[in-house]
């Protein structure tokens, strides 16, 4: 089973965990998600997908929330256009499962402990780990653990 997770947002990420436990992470772009869906579409019966279920927050500005909502809808539309089913997972659910808080630094730390071989740097020139990559990876890990628990 291939586990794909998407953390939406401007600093979002895409993570894949393959059957042999190799891991790939990418900064979120619709282009990258489309490319991955094209590759994975031939293996639809062997893929499990999760997207973080997000919603507007009172402190967010109208313009930023509109942009964020547009991006979120685009993610769901891309998956649906490839006939890839997905589940929406609330952050409180997967974060509690993997043992992190709302503080993004805990997600980075936990992802680095669980997957020390995976770089959370969005580019080769980056110096700071990306919380979107960390959270997408932890969401994929959650998906895999929940899937294996059903067996």
> Binning pLDDT at 50, 70 and 90, where does residue 9 land?
confident
Instruction: For 70-104, write each residue's pLDDT tens digit.
Output: 788 899 999 999 999 999 999 999 999 999 998 99
Average pLDDT over residues 113-124: 94
- List for the chain the helix, strand, coil content (%; round to 5): 50, 15, 35
Task: Return the CATH superfamily for domain 2-149.
Answer: Ribonuclease H-like superfamily/Ribonuclease H (3.30.420.10)
Conformational region of residue 24, where left means phi above 0, alpha means psi within -120 to 50, and beta covers everything else: beta
What pLDDT score does 60 carry? 62
The per-residue b/e assignment along 17-28, b for 16 or more CB within 10 angstroms, e otherwise, is beeeeebebbbb
Q: Are residues 137 and 23 in contact, defined by beta-carbon separation less than 8 angstroms? A: yes
The three-class DSSP label of residue 5 is strand
């Amino acid at each position: 089973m291939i586990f794909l997770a998407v953390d939406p947002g401007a600093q979002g990420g895409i993570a894949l965990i393959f059957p042999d436990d190799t891991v790939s992470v990418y900064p979120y772009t619709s282009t990258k998600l489309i490319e991955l869906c094209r590759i994975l579409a031939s293996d639809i019966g062997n893929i499990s997908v999760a997207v973080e279920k997000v919603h507007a927050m009172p402190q967010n500005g109208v313009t930023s929330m509109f942009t964020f909502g547009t991006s979120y809808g685009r993610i769901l539309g891309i998956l649906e256009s490839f006939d890839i089913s997905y589940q929406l997972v609330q952050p409180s659910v997967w974060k509690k499962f993997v043992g992190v808080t709302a503080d993004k630094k805990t997600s980075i730390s936990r992802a680095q402990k669980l997957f020390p071989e995976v770089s959370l740097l969005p580019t080769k020139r980056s110096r700071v780990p990306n919380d979107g990559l960390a959270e997408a990876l932890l969401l994929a890990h959650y998906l895999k653990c929940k899937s294996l628990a059903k067996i």
